[in-house]
Amino acid sequence: MSFLEALILGIIQGLTEFLPVSSSGHLEIVKALQGQELSGESSMLMTVVVHFATALSTVIVFRKDILEIFRGLFQFKVNEEFMFAVKIVISMVPAAVVGVVFNEEIESFFDGQLLIVGMMLIVTGLLLFLADRAKNTTKKVSVGNAIIIGIAQAIAILPGISRSGATIGTSVILGIDRERAARFSFLMVVPLIFGKMAKDMMSPEFKEVLAGGSESSVSFFALSVGFVAAFVTGIIACTWMISLVKKSKLSYFSYYCFVIGIVAMGWTLVS
């Protein structure tokens, strides 16, 4: 993988992790358009690295919120910060279960399955379209809401389903305040990404790729370029997305998802 290819992948990940257009779906589309033969451990390695970069950018943007959550936990008091942390943990359970139980099936989707990516992008577009028309979005996140939002995040493991789009869209449709929905959506994924990073780093396949013992077209330099690009653009996109959600601008992204989804499906038919 060249410098330019890694840079493009990193920028796309940084933007699409927070903008509701599916980062994983766009990564698969770019790989197909660039003709990259990245599959198995190699493809997942680059995907994990750039996802890790955007998790760090989330920590930077929401550092005050995260400190308040930890402060609430360490005080051992059932206050607002403590309950928010509990709801974050509850929301993580569905995606964690799906990731562990269906790990091999999930990896098979990250191997140039553009038809599925296109279909899922259209589903994402429909969800965003409906969310932008939701009224009376003034509620806080309840425990029941956290479970439903967690299920939406689990479904978003599929490439083409936007994680932020699924979780924010579901939250808004449930009547949750838009700013709270964005805050909850971005914070709930951080523990999952760090957990998956730890799991992957302990796997024999991951260590083999890092040691250069696997047939991989992803060098350490390419991974570094992708990481930095995803981290910087992630900070910019996260800040921008919070503003867009508050202004009810999700429908613009729904139209984009419709177009890209149709293009991806069309590319599958002609290639």
Angle at 55 (CA atoms; ends 106, 84), nearest 5 degrees? 95
Torsion of CA 196, 124, 251, 265, to 10 degrees: 120
Whether 235 and 57 have beta carbons less than 8 Å apart is answered as yes
Distance from the first to the final alpha carbon of the chain: 22
What pLDDT was estimated at residue 39?
Answer: 47
Determine the Cα–Cα distance for residues 244 and 231; give it in Å rounded to an integer: 20
Characterize 195-213 residue by residue with b for buried, 16 or more Cβ atoms within 10 angstroms of its Cβ, and e for exposed: ebbeebeeeeebeebeeee
Show the domain range for 151.
Answer: 3-270
The kind and range of the H/E element at 107 are helix 103-109
What pLDDT was estimated at residue 5?
Answer: 80
Determine the Cα–Cα distance for residues 41 and 62; give it in Å rounded to an integer: 31
Whether 245 and 168 have beta carbons less than 8 Å apart is answered as yes
Number of compact structural domains in the chain: 1
Q: Could you report the average pLDDT of every consecutive run of 10 residues in the chain (271 residues)?
A: 83 85 77 59 69 89 87 75 88 86 70 81 93 86 94 89 91 92 88 75 66 60 91 94 85 92 87 69
What pLDDT was estimated at residue 176?
Answer: 94
Determine the Cα–Cα distance for residues 54 and 42; give it in Å rounded to an integer: 19
Determine the Cα–Cα distance for residues 236 and 175; give it in Å rounded to an integer: 27
What pLDDT was estimated at residue 207?
Answer: 65
| Ramachandran bin of 200, using left for φ above 0, alpha for ψ from -120 to 50, beta for the remaining angles | alpha
Q: What number of residues does the chain have? A: 271
Which residue has tokens 């449930």? 174
